[in-house]
């Protein structure tokens, strides 16, 4: 398996523009997570899905952020409109939550977003 695949790897956009980050989880995994990492705030969990259903979006900073998972093999994180303070590395991760089993999250390479 190629692992968790994120695109694009780098994104530079102007303030006010819409940004869409994409993620393809590992095949067979039933949980998907979006994280944001900055120097100031570290790694923050934004939202996570289980079986394509959003379970906890309490980490989503504000209404400008939205995430979808239309099927088991694809998820998007959208920021509209984007602001300079949204500049960060956004990670997608997936895992297989099996009863009684160890849950290990596999992370993608991340998308480095710069909003100017």
Partner 1 sequence: LAKTTQPISMDSYEGQEVNITCSHNNIATNDYITWYQQFPSQGPRFIIQGYKTKVTNEVASLFIPADRKSSTLSLPRVSLSDTAVYYCLVGERNQGGKLIFGQGTELSVKP
Closest CA to 79 of 92, 62, 94: 62
Token output for 83: 């602001």
Cβ atoms of 79 and 59 within 8 Å: the answer is: no
Asked if 109 touches partner 1 (CB under 8 A), the answer is yes
Asked if 107 touches partner 1 (CB under 8 A), the answer is yes
Nearer to partner 1, 12 or 55 (CB): 55
Strands 111-115 and 88-95, how do they pair?
antiparallel
Report the nearest approach of partner 1 to the CB of residue 101 (Å): 7
List of residues contacting partner 1 (CB under 8 A): 4, 30-31, 33, 35, 42-45, 48, 50, 55-56, 91, 93, 95, 97-110
């Amino acid at each position: 398996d190629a692992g968790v695949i994120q695109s694009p790897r780098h994104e530079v956009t102007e303030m006010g523009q819409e940004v869409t980050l994409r993620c393809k989880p590992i095949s067979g995994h039933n949980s998907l997570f979006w994280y944001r990492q900055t120097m100031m705030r570290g790694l923050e969990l934004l939202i996570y899905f289980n079986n394509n259903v959003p379970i906890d979006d309490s980490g989503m900073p504000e209404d400008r952020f939205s995430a979808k998972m239309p099927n088991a093999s694809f998820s998007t994180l959208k920021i509209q409109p984007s602001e300079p303070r949204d500049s960060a590395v956004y990670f997608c991760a997936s895992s297989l939550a099996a009863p009684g089993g160890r849950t290990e999250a596999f992370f993608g390479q991340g998308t480095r977003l710069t909003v100017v």
